[in-house]
């Protein structure tokens, strides 16, 4: 017990010193934050699609990565149902491709991507987990 108390006291004294020493950015950092990944450098893939200026009159597909038997085990279906209602109230003419109308799988295999593309949406909302 005494050894634990001594170690705890040492940690409480050392912690502020470590934070001060390690947390001070170099003078030439311009308050930049450098994040290092233990996996190494990350290569940039494709640029994201441009944002839509408005959702009015647009077709938006909702894809939920869940299987039909797990659909209501999580909150994904509830979230999408609520999001659909809110979007239809806010944006006139918006069309929603319901998640239940698309293949339900945990990974976006070719079948899923092809089904989404076949609906010709202007945008896609993707939710992972049922």
Q: What is the pLDDT of residues 9-61, one digit of tens each?
A: 555 565 555 555 455 555 655 667 777 777 777 777 888 888 899 999 999 99
Is residue 58 a contact partner of residue 123, using CB atoms and an 8 Å limit?
A: yes
Distance CA 31, CA 33 (A): 7
Mean pLDDT of the chain: 76
Q: Report if residue 97 sits inside a domain.
A: yes
Name the residue range of residue 83's domain: 59-128
Within a domain: 98: yes
pLDDT category at 116 given cuts 50, 70, 90 is: very high
Asked if residue 7 belongs to a domain, the reply is no
Look at the block and give the residue holding tokens 């797990």.
Answer: 70
Number of domains in the chain: 1
């Amino acid at each position: 017990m005494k050894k634990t108390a001594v170690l705890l006291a040492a940690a409480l004294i050392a912690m502020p010193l470590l934070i001060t020493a390690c947390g001070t950015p170099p003078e030439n950092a311009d308050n930049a934050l450098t994040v290092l990944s233990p996996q190494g450098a990350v290569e940039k893939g494709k640029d994201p699609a441009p944002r839509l200026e408005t959702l009015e009159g647009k077709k938006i597909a909702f894809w939920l990565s869940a299987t039909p038997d797990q659909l209501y085990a999580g909150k994904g279906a509830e979230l999408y149902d609520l999001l659909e209602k809110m979007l239809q109230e806010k944006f006139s003419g918006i069309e929603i491709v319901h998640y239940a109308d698309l293949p339900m799988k945990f990974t976006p295999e070719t079948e899923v991507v092809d089904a989404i593309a076949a609906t010709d949406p202007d945008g896609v909302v993707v939710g992972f987990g049922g």
